[in-house]
């Protein structure tokens, strides 16, 4: 399985590539499915509303390619420990 990766440092409503552009690039490069993985620690408005809406819109042009949106990464104990080291 070939993995394609387009990372976003924030929700890309205004920056490039947009979710729609990244979805299309994945399909053009041979993706048989798209996995949208929000790099968030917890669910919030972007994960619950914005990303599903943008991914759904992007998928309309590629209806034969299924997609899923994963849960946020979550809070790992090592992330907490590292933040304590850095900031406390």
The predicted structure's pLDDT at residue 84: 87
The answer to whether 19 touches 51, Cβ cutoff 8 Å, is yes
The answer to whether 35 touches 67, Cβ cutoff 8 Å, is yes
The predicted structure's pLDDT at residue 53: 94
Token pair recorded at residue 10: 């924030």
The predicted structure's pLDDT at residue 38: 83
One digit per residue, the tens of pLDDT, for the chain of length 88 reads 566 565 554 555 556 778 888 899 889 888 889 988 887 778 888 889 999 999 999 999 999 999 999 988 887 788 788 888 989 8
Geometric angle at alpha carbon 30, from 23 and 12, rounded to 5°: 15
The predicted structure's pLDDT at residue 37: 84
């Amino acid at each position: 399985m070939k993995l394609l990766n387009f990372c976003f440092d924030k929700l890309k409503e205004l920056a490039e590539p947009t979710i729609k552009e990244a979805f299309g690039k994945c399909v053009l490069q041979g993706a048989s499915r798209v996995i949208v993985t929000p790099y968030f620690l917890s669910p919030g408005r972007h994960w619950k509303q914005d990303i599903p809406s943008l991914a759904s819109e992007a998928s309309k042009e590629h209806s034969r390619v299924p997609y899923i949106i994963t849960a946020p990464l979550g809070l790992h104990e090592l992330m907490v420990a590292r933040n304590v080291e850095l900031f406390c």
